[in-house]
């Protein structure tokens, strides 16, 4: 019995490590050509992700449960639909985050001076984002079974922080093509 528990724990840890590695690879992989213009950078905004933050918080579902005629089947369908919408937001956020990080790496490579502080912040932010993505995916899985809400606030904050870093690196009139 003990061998089974240890084996299951090792297998679970391995699966989590593999999932984290896949998320990190996806977060750092972007197309070879990345347009970086002041306009593109100014269009980056967390505003498009604000609905994501409360989409799965449960308040709406709690309210609907108090309404006459609302059934558990309706609740399950609503949870499924909202989880799909949330996954779409997460995919877009992941792609935007990867593009911002790639743009920062490009700017660091083309810079005339070294920025070890920025490189460390980039690595730290990517690790935080990858860990946040892993947590969100686990919570989404649990949400599908009706257990817990999912909050994307940490991911959105990390994305916003990296957007601010990128804006600080690019003067308002510059543009480049990678």
Distance of CA 9 to the CA centre of its chain: 27
pLDDT at 176: 45
Mean pLDDT over all residues of the chain? 80
Residues listed for the chain: 178
Give the pLDDT mean for 63-74: 88
Model confidence at 79, pLDDT cuts 50, 70, 90, reads confident
pTM of the shown model: 0.71
Domain encompassing residue 29: 2-177
Number of domains in the chain: 1
**Which region holds residue 67: left if phi is over 0, alpha if psi is between -120 and 50, else beta?**
beta
| Confidence at 28, pLDDT banded by 50, 70, 90 | low
Q: How many CB atoms lie within 10 A of CB 85?
A: 14
For residue 173, pLDDT beyond 50: no
């Amino acid at each position: 019995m003990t061998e089974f528990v240890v084996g299951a724990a090792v297998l679970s840890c391995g699966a989590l490590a593999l999932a984290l590695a896949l998320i990190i690879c996806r977060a750092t992989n972007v197309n070879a050509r990345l347009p970086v213009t002041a306009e593109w950078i100014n269009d980056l905004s967390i505003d498009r992700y604000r609905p994501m933050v409360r989409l799965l918080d449960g308040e709406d579902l709690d309210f609907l449960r108090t309404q006459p005629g609302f059934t558990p089947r309706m609740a399950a369908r609503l949870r499924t639909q909202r989880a799909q919408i949330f996954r779409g937001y997460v995919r877009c956020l992941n792609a935007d985050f990867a593009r911002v990080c790639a743009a920062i790496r490009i700017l660091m490579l083309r810079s005339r001076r070294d920025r070890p502080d920025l490189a460390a912040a980039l690595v730290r932010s990517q690790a935080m984002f990858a860990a946040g993505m892993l947590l969100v995916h686990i919570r989404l899985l649990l949400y599908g079974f009706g257990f817990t809400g999912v909050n994307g606030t940490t991911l959105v904050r990390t994305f916003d922080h990296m957007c601010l870093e990128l804006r600080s690196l690019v003067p308002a009139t510059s543009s480049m093509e990678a």
